[in-house]
A and B are shown apart, each in its own frame.
Chain A
Amino acid sequence: MVQAINDALAHEMRRDDRVVVLGEDVGRVGGVFRVTQGLWEEFGDERVVDTPLSEGGIVGAAIGMALYGLVPIPEIQFADFIYPAFDQIVSELAKLRWRSGGEYPAKVVIRAPVGGGIRGGLYHSQSPEALFIHVAGLKVVCPSSPYDAKGLLLASIRDPDPVLFFEPKRIYRAAKGEVPDGEYTLPLGVAAVVRPGRHVTVIAWGAMLYEAIAAADQASQSGVECEVIDLRTLWPVDIETIVASVKKTGRVIVVHEAPKTCGFGAELVALVNEKAFFCLEAPPARVCGFDTPFPYALEMEYLPLARRILPAIIETAGI
Chain B
Amino acid sequence: MPSAAWPGPPQVGALREDGTVDPARAEGIPDELAVALYEQMVLSRETDAHLVALQRQGRITHHASAAGEEAAIVGAAAGVRDEDWMFLASREFAAALWRGMPLGALVHHALGTARGPGRGRDTYAPPFWKPARVVSASPLSATQIPHAAGVAWSARARREDVAALVFFGEGATSSADFHAGLNFAGVTRAPLIAVCRNNGWATSLPSDRQTASDGFAVKAVAYGVRAVRVDGGDVIAVLAVVREARARAAAGEGCTLIEAVVPPRPDSGDVSSSPADPIARMRRHLEGRGLWSDDRDARLRDEVHADVRRAIAEADAEPSSPTPDFTDDVYASLPWHLREQRQAMAPRDPAAGG
- Which A residues have a C-beta under 8 Å from some C-beta of B? 20, 46-47, 49, 51-52, 54, 56-57, 59-70, 72, 84, 87-88, 91-92, 95, 97-105, 136-137, 139, 159-161, 189, 236, 239
A101's partner among B146, B176, B329 (CB-CB below 8 A) is B329
Contacts of B136 in A (CB 8 A): 99-100
Q: Does B12 contact A (CB under 8 A)?
A: no
Task: Give chain B nearest CB distance to A39 CB in angstroms.
Answer: 15
Contact (Cβ within 8 A) A64 B154: yes
Interface positions, chain B 318-347, Cβ under 8 Å from A, are: 326, 328-333, 335-337
Task: Give chain A nearest CB distance to B169 CB in angstroms.
Answer: 17
Task: Give chain A nearest CB distance to B342 CB in angstroms.
Answer: 13
Contact (Cβ within 8 A) B181 A60: yes
A95-B138, A98-B330 known; A57+B128 contact, CB < 8 A: no
Contact (Cβ within 8 A) A57 B330: no
Q: Given contacts A99-B136, A101-B128, list 18 more A-B pairs with CB under 8 A.
A: A49-B153, A54-B180, A56-B177, A61-B153, A64-B152, A64-B154, A64-B164, A67-B135, A84-B176, A88-B143, A91-B138, A92-B138, A98-B330, A101-B116, A102-B329, A105-B332, A139-B331, A236-B336
Task: Give chain B nearest CB distance to A236 CB in angstroms.
Answer: 4
Q: Give the total of B residues in contact with A, Cβ under 8 Å.
A: 46
Q: Considering the complex, give the chain A residue whose CB is closest to the CB of B187.
A: A52
4 interchain residue pairs of minimum CB distance: A64-B150, A60-B146, A57-B180, A61-B150
Task: Give chain B nearest CB distance to A251 CB in angstroms.
Answer: 24
User: How many Å lie between the Cα of A54 and that of B140 in the bound state?
Assistant: 18
Q: Considering the complex, give the chain A residue whose CB is closest to the CB of B109.
A: A101
Contact (Cβ within 8 A) B332 A68: no
Task: Give chain A nearest CB distance to B330 CB in angstroms.
Answer: 5
What are 16 A-to-B residue pairs whose CB atoms are below 8 Å?
Answer: A49-B153, A54-B179, A57-B179, A60-B143, A64-B151, A69-B154, A97-B330, A97-B331, A98-B326, A100-B118, A100-B128, A101-B117, A103-B130, A104-B130, A161-B331, A161-B332
Contacts of B337 in A (CB 8 A): 236, 239
Contact (Cβ within 8 A) B153 A64: yes
A99's partner among B122, B187, B336 (CB-CB below 8 A) is B122
User: How many Å lie between the Cα of A100 and that of B125 in the bound state?
Assistant: 11
User: How many Å lie between the Cα of A189 and that of B336 in the bound state?
Assistant: 10
A57-B183, A100-B118, A100-B136 known; A63+B332 contact, CB < 8 A: no
Contact (Cβ within 8 A) B121 A60: no
By secondary structure, the A interface counts as mixed
Q: Considering the complex, give the chain B residue whose CB is closest to the CB of A108.
A: B150
Interface positions, chain B 52-85, Cβ under 8 Å from A, are: 85
Task: Give chain B nearest CB distance to A84 CB in angstroms.
Answer: 7
Task: Give chain A nearest CB distance to B344 CB in angstroms.
Answer: 12
Task: Give chain B nearest CB distance to A241 CB in angstroms.
Answer: 12
A137's partner among B135, B157, B330 (CB-CB below 8 A) is B330
Q: Does B119 contact A (CB under 8 A)?
A: yes
Interface positions, chain B 148-207, Cβ under 8 Å from A, are: 148-155, 157, 164, 176-177, 179-181, 183-184, 187-188
User: How many Å lie between the Cα of A87 and that of B85 in the bound state?
Assistant: 23
User: How many Å lie between the Cα of A10 and that of B28 in the bound state?
Assistant: 49
Contacts of B85 in A (CB 8 A): 67-68
Task: Give chain B nearest CB distance to A187 CB in angstroms.
Answer: 13
Interface positions, chain B 19-63, Cβ under 8 Å from A, are: none
